[in-house]
Structure 1
Amino acid sequence: MLSFILVVIVLFLIPGPAVLLTISQTAQGGRKTGIITGIGIAVGDLIHTVAAVLGLSAILMTSALAFEIVKYLGASYLIFLGIKSILEKSKKQEQTALKKRSTVTSFRQALLIELLNPKTALFFLAFLPQFVQNNGTPVVIQLLILGLTFVLMSILYTTLLAFLTSSIGERIFANKNGKLARWQGKVMGSIYIGLGLQLVFQNQK
């Protein structure tokens, strides 16, 4: 378990889609939004863990069609969010209050983004079994414990990111008349679109 925790910490230190999503959502909607986004990502990871335990993720590994379908659904959703963010911001530049995303919306978006990333499913299918030991404990139980540990660590990490990012985001975007504030929607939208395009070019193996 100690080895697993250390490896997960190293993985967290490598910026990925979850990190970018949490930071962008926090900068746009505040600390609470960032924390809820992290929880949404973690719940998506938990579902991937259960799917891996049940063997469902193996379908994505063996079926090129299934992999492509999930990949393009996820990419389309990310690009849609990006375009929506850019257009909404351009229509509301004259408002004086920073629009806060609802926690339900933030959670739902993060959950769907994580679920519709086939690479995440394959990651859990390939990563978790490496730490299973022949100690008499059923493999299913070990996989679930490892998955839950990963999920809890993910929540702690994204919550820390939200706290670190929130004060910076508030300072940058608090003044609606500032140049950076006027570009907020474009920046966040570009991040979503970039993640979507990155997903498009992912390969099955």
Structure 2
Amino acid sequence: MSLEFLITSLIIVASPGTGMIYTVAAGLSRGARVSVVAAFGCTLGIVPHMLAAIMGLAALLHTSALAFQIFKYLGVAYLLYMAWNTLQERGALQVEQKVDTRSALRVTIDAVLVNLLNPKLSIFFFAFLPQFVSTDTINPMPQMLALSGVFMLLTFVVFVIYGLFAASVRNHVISRPQVMTWMRRIFAGAFVALGAKLAVADR
């Protein structure tokens, strides 16, 4: 495991994206426990992309314009749905004092879908992982699985840190209705911006 891989992965994971925004929103609105649930869901959401990259299925998205466009616009539609729910005081910034099992499951599903419906992730891992596999490796599968496991662990840890930080300032935010209104607008705008960025993305 090279230091270059760890540093590159950390930079990628720590960069703002849909998963990070959703985890922070969960921490702000529902507290520390749910922010960890959101971080776990976002981490689960990248598993199919990594498996697709390892098994070569990401090549389909890279070569098939139709498959890429269908996947892409499903992702755009879901991000716009997240933005609308946020503005309507539902979804990512729905304030709940007590979170039950059903709400935690909903957070997990939303977090998984946020990352799952992004075809750029499959193509990214398809291009990213092989760069750190030894050229003299006869069977690269175990090494790619190990690299994927480390990337997932970094994703979970970094997202948990983001979420717990957001949860630590939660009381200062939700106790001020005007601040919450602006936070909803900002997070909804962030989801729209990410959707727009995905909409114009090429393979």
TM-score interval w.r.t. the shorter chain?
0.7 to 0.9
TM-score (normalizing by structure 2): 0.87
One-letter code aligned to 1:200: A
Q: Percent identity?
A: 29
What CA distance in whole angstroms lies between the structure 2 residues aligned with 1:197 and 1:29?
Answer: 27
Give the corresponding residue for 1:203: 202
Give the corresponding residue for 1:40: 41
**3-state SS of paired residue (1:36):** helix
Change (3 A) 1:182 1:11: closer
Q: Which stretch has the larger CA shift, 23-32 or 116-125?
A: 23-32
Which structure 2 residues correspond to residues 88-107 of structure 1 after superposition, within 5 A? 88=89, 98=97, 100=99, 102-107=103-108
Give the corresponding residue for 2:111: 110
Task: Measure how far apart 1:196 and its partner are.
Answer: 1.8
What CA distance in whole angstroms lies between the structure 2 residues aligned with 1:71 and 1:49?
Answer: 17
RMSD (Å) for aligned C-alpha atoms: 2.3
Structure 2 residue ranges without an equivalent (≥5): none
Structure 1 residue ranges without an equivalent (≥5): none
Partners of 1:28 and 1:100 within 8 A in 2: no
**3-state SS of paired residue (1:46):** helix
What CA distance in whole angstroms lies between the structure 2 residues aligned with 1:154 and 1:162?
Answer: 12
Tell whether 2:170 aligns with 1:178.
no
What CA distance in whole angstroms lies between the structure 1 residues aligned with 2:14 and 2:183?
Answer: 25
What CA distance in whole angstroms lies between the structure 1 residues aligned with 2:132 and 2:83?
Answer: 37
Q: Which stretch has the larger CA shift, 25-34 or 149-158?
A: 25-34
What CA distance in whole angstroms lies between the structure 2 residues aligned with 1:147 and 1:192?
Answer: 26
Which structure 2 residues correspond to residues 1-205 of structure 1 after superposition, within 5 A? 1-2=1-2, 3-88=4-89, 98=97, 100=99, 102-136=103-137, 138-173=139-174, 175=175, 178-204=177-203
Change (3 A) 1:194 1:24: farther
Partners of 1:28 and 1:184 within 8 A in 2: no
Partners of 1:46 and 1:148 within 8 A in 2: no
**3-state SS of paired residue (1:59):** helix
Task: Measure how far apart 1:189 and its partner are.
Answer: 2.8
Task: Measure how far apart 1:203 and its partner are.
Answer: 1.6
Change (3 A) 1:179 1:134: same
TM-score (normalizing by structure 1): 0.86
Partners of 1:28 and 1:188 within 8 A in 2: no
Partners of 1:83 and 1:193 within 8 A in 2: no
